[in-house]
Amino acid sequence: MPDRHVQVLVIGTGPTGLGAATRLEQLQLPQSYLVVGQEDVAGGLAGTDETSEGFLFDYGGHVIFSHYAYFDDTINKALPKEDDWYEHQRVSYIRSGSAWVPYPYQNNISQLPQSEQLVALDGLLEAAELRAATPTVKPVTFEQWIDRNLGKGIGEMFMHPYNFKVWGVRTSEMQCKWLGERVAAPNLKVVIKNAITRTPAGNWGPNATFRFPARGGTGGIWKAVAEMIPREKIQVGRVVSVDPVHKLAKMGNGETIAYDKLVSTMNVDHFVDIVQVSSEADKEKLRMVKQATQELVYSNTIVIGLGMRGQRPERIGDKCWLYFPEDNTPFYRATIFSNYSPHNCPAQDKVLPTLRLANGSAPASTEPSSGPYWSLMLEVCQSAQRPQNMDTILEETILGALATDLLRPGDEIVSTYVRRFEHGYPTPSLGRDAALGRILPVLKDDFDIWSRGRFGSWKYEAGNQDHSFMLGVEAVDSAVFGTPEMTLNETDWVNGRRNVERRLQ
């Protein structure tokens, strides 16, 4: 006999699991549910760590910009006070040589040296001619999309090297269906006009303005959302096996939980390894699913945090996040994390010793002294094609920050943070969609398992915090009512509009 029975079991307490729990709690159905997560703090990959010195660092670059009223309703209910949030205008640049080019790069070639502008414009004009000559041709790879829409000049100067640093695979190994609103296709007339007049382009994209929590970092949002779920509905523990035929989940402590429907937010390539079936027909289905998961590609993310003493440098100003396509840094993105909230750093009156100067020299004094303080958060991709040495990555990152003028040699470093996250980015590889087509329908239709989330359903284009949360909400509606899952299956449609049909109230 199982130790307990629930109608809906949810594995994971990241945004997707909490989305499922929020919807189940809102529905107030007679059906029971339980959310289990192996971490004692909610948030998953949207969490936040605090160093011993008092600096906060997110598990990567997370900001709030939403496509869903329901998501906004939820986080506003979780953090309802006006001083719970900061709202920012995005100030973002690409480091190109010794210059900072406003984001997006392809709209701001006017800020490049003239010789590079000519290379970029030549490529843009050739790409326009190619599209006109072959209007029915559809690019298959990301490399083809770049060359066809942005031209080889911009591709070689920025898009190909930068995306290799982000994804850890070549653009020729990636599909282009995932792009949607994430990459700006430039208006050629405007680009030429701006190049002649040396005018930067205006802000573009869905995250041109964004919100960030005042306290607790991004993880503070999800702690607050979890607190809206009754405590007895969330259990800390690790699921070690799932029997989808008898609808039983076994926990690491030996407890067994019977369920009717299962929503899993685990990495699907790991989740299928804990699924256990007995019949030969089910074993064959599971074997095919496991085989398909081997075709999914991902990279790991290494997050490096640096806490500095002193006033924020004038050269840093109000910058938000910065992109680095060149080889003089291991990181592809840097965030001025102290600009998001002053509470991401210790209070000015906190006294801390200097650990080292940025150039590696010992400080003149190791006596603790007060602030003010500021901080950098830097992200590094680790993959088979971009291996990283964890023993040296901190020093390589500091050297990269010096090479790009993020740091100066005499800057005082008072705190460092390094953490590696396996499964950082779900890569939109060429074989991804075919593999998912052999995984997700079998789990759902044959085994009553909704595998959802950033790595549960493996769609980067539906992997932001708002998407991930709504994947959980919609999985519950699908499991309980049989309704369509728009975020999973119609991502371009969802991303192209403000979704107000579902509200928390």
Q: Quick check: pTM over 0.85?
A: yes
Query: Which class for 231: exposed (0-12), middle (13-18), buried (19 or more C-beta within 10 A)?
Result: exposed
pLDDT for residue 31 is more than 90: no
Burial 462-483 (b: 16+ CB within 10 A, else e): bbbbbbbbbbbbbbbbbbbeee
pLDDT digits (tens, 9 = 90+) for 280-327: 999 999 999 999 999 999 999 999 999 999 999 999 999 999 999 999
List the single range of 104-113, 169-178, 338-347, 450-459 with lowest mean pLDDT: 104-113
pLDDT at 259 over 90: yes
Query: What pLDDT sits at residue 1?
Result: 81
pLDDT at 167 over 90: yes
Q: What is the pLDDT of residue 170?
A: 97
Instruction: Give the residue with greater pLDDT, 250 vs 181.
Output: 250
Which two tokens mark 483?
A: 């309704």
d(CA 194, CA 190): 6
Distance CA(104)–CA(323), nearest Å, equals 10
What confidence tier does 495 reach under pLDDT thresholds 50, 70, 90? confident
Q: What pLDDT is recorded for position 99?
A: 84
Averaged pLDDT of the chain: 93
pLDDT band at 205 (very low <50, low <70, confident <90, very high): low
Q: What percent of the chain has pLDDT over 90?
A: 82
- The confidence band for 29, taking pLDDT boundaries of 50, 70 and 90, is confident
Flag whether pLDDT at 203 surpasses 70.
Answer: no
pLDDT at 181 over 70: no
The SS3 assignment for 502 reads coil
What is the pLDDT, as a whole number, of residue 28?
85
Confidence of residue 204 (pLDDT cuts 50, 70, 90): low
Residue 501 confidence (pLDDT): 79
Distances in Å between the Cα of 373 and the Cα atoms of 304, 339, 350, 353, 364 are 17, 11, 9, 12, 18
Which pLDDT belongs to residue 30?
A: 63
pLDDT at 25 over 70: yes
Confidence class of residue 110 from pLDDT cuts 50, 70 and 90?
confident
Topology adopted by domain 298-426: Polyamine Oxidase; Chain A, domain 2 (3.90.660)
**pLDDT by residue (tens digit) across 378-431?**
999 999 999 999 999 999 999 999 999 999 999 999 999 999 999 999 999 999
Mean pLDDT of 487-492: 93
pLDDT tens track for 335-354: 999 999 999 999 999 999 99
Mean pLDDT (whole number) for 197-207: 69
Task: Read off the pLDDT of residues 349-366 as tens digits, 9 standing for 90 and up.
Answer: 999 999 999 999 999 888
Domain layout of the chain by residue ranges: 4-46+66-83+216-295+428-495, 105-197, 298-426
Confidence of residue 368 (pLDDT cuts 50, 70, 90): very high
List strand residue ranges (DSSP E) for 42-195, in order.
Answer: 48-50, 56-58, 85-89, 93-96, 99-102
Q: For residues 235 and 247, give the distance between their C-alpha atoms in angstroms, rounded to a whole number.
A: 18
Calculate ∠ Cα 138-142-147, nearest 5°: 75
Digit-coded pLDDT (tens) for 88-101: 988 899 999 888 99
Percent of the chain surpassing pLDDT 70: 97
User: With left for phi above 0 and alpha for psi between -120 and 50, is residue 107 left, alpha or beta?
Assistant: alpha
pLDDT classification of 144: cutoffs 50, 70, 90: very high
pLDDT at 188: 79
Q: How confident is the model at residue 499 (pLDDT cuts 50, 70, 90)?
A: confident
Q: How far apart are CA 10 and CA 37, in angstroms?
A: 9
Query: Is residue 304 a contact partner of residue 285, using CB atoms and an 8 Å limit?
Result: no
Q: 442-453: per-residue pLDDT in tens?
A: 999 999 999 999
Give the per-residue pLDDT at 313: 94
What pLDDT shows up at residue 206? 64
Give the number of other CB atoms < 10 A from CB of residue 368. Answer: 11
Is the pLDDT assigned to residue 34 strictly greater than 90? yes
Tell me the mean pLDDT in the region 328-334: 97
Provide mean pLDDT across the span 467-487. 97
Count of C-beta atoms within a 10 Å radius of residue 326 = 17
What CATH architecture does domain 4-46+66-83+216-295+428-495 belong to?
Answer: 3-Layer(bba) Sandwich (3.50)
Taking the C-alpha atoms of residue 54 and residue 47, their distance in angstroms, rounded to an integer, is 16
**Residue 87 predicted with pLDDT over 80:** yes
Instruction: Decide whether 4-46+66-83+216-295+428-495 matches 298-426 in CATH topology.
Output: no
